[in-house]
Structure 1
Amino acid sequence: MNRTPRDRDTEGRARSARPRDGLGRPLPYGEEGVARQPEGVVRTPEETLVEAQRLLDAGMPFHAHEVLEDAWKSGPREERELWRGLAQLAVGLTHAARGNPTGGAALLARGARSIAPYAAAPPYAVDIGGLSRWAHELADELRRDDTVVVSAAERAPRLRVSR
């Protein structure tokens, strides 16, 4: 069997070098893609939320998920579910915008469950209540009508309470 060797990163881990579109979907080699978010970046919570919001507003929830995932993996244990839940919300929007309503609804619901324990004392002014409402409303819409077209930029949530 003659297989093409897998793309590898500098540490030898399998990592696709194919370019990606704004929703993180692989494009054919040689096509112009959207720059990927660097992985493993340790940011402050403020930097994380600002960068994730910028990406969400730009219609790039897949990239926002990568930023939030870095916070989930590098943050203090007591905040990991918050960051994981926020990353799940971004991935839920990604799936919805890619035309996968079932996956989108499931991840939106999972993300809302993950952030719910922080509602009584939301850290970093994260709008837990608003995000939960947004996630449940979009998930319900996706379950009711699996033909709905979701614009990632138009449906981007606000991560924090407006100041």
Structure 2
Amino acid sequence: MGFLVRAPVTARSGSDATVRPPPYQALHSLIPSGGSSDSAPEFPPAIPGPSKAIPADVRRTPASDPKAISGPAYPYDGRRGRRSSRLPLIPRTHEDKLFEKNLTILCRQAVARTPQFTAGGFFTIDYSMLASMVGSLTANMIIILQFMRSNRNGACDTAN
């Protein structure tokens, strides 16, 4: 499995060409582009229909065609999915290098460390089991609250 990365559109207005970068700088390094990072990205439509024609002032070049980057996509529960880096998903919309460095270190530590919970020393609880426990607890709390609310309204009066 892989994911699709859309390249920026080269827009022609007059004699100068401007290229707007994609929203994430990690993907920006994979796609040839230029220009400032302050402007918003503009992507071509995926499948232009008869009503969605590409305007005449937008010229598609081979560098602006969608590029497919084939990379493995591991499930979250898998071991490689927990260990793989999720840092390219962090948007870099700031210029503070110290904040970016600290955030990168924090994310790498969170990805590299597997959670270790034990239930009284009997068995290990991982994130998937913890999520299912929280889900079942939430469902049971909702059911109990609904019974309590219906009892207050007198719909389920069994005291007599």
Could you say whether these structures have the same fold, taking a TM-score greater than 0.5 normalized by the shorter chain as the test? no
Higher share of residues assigned helix: 1
Higher share of residues assigned strand: 2
Q: Which has the larger radius of gyration?
A: 2
TM-score normalised by structure 2 residue count? 0.26
TM-score normalised by structure 1 residue count? 0.25
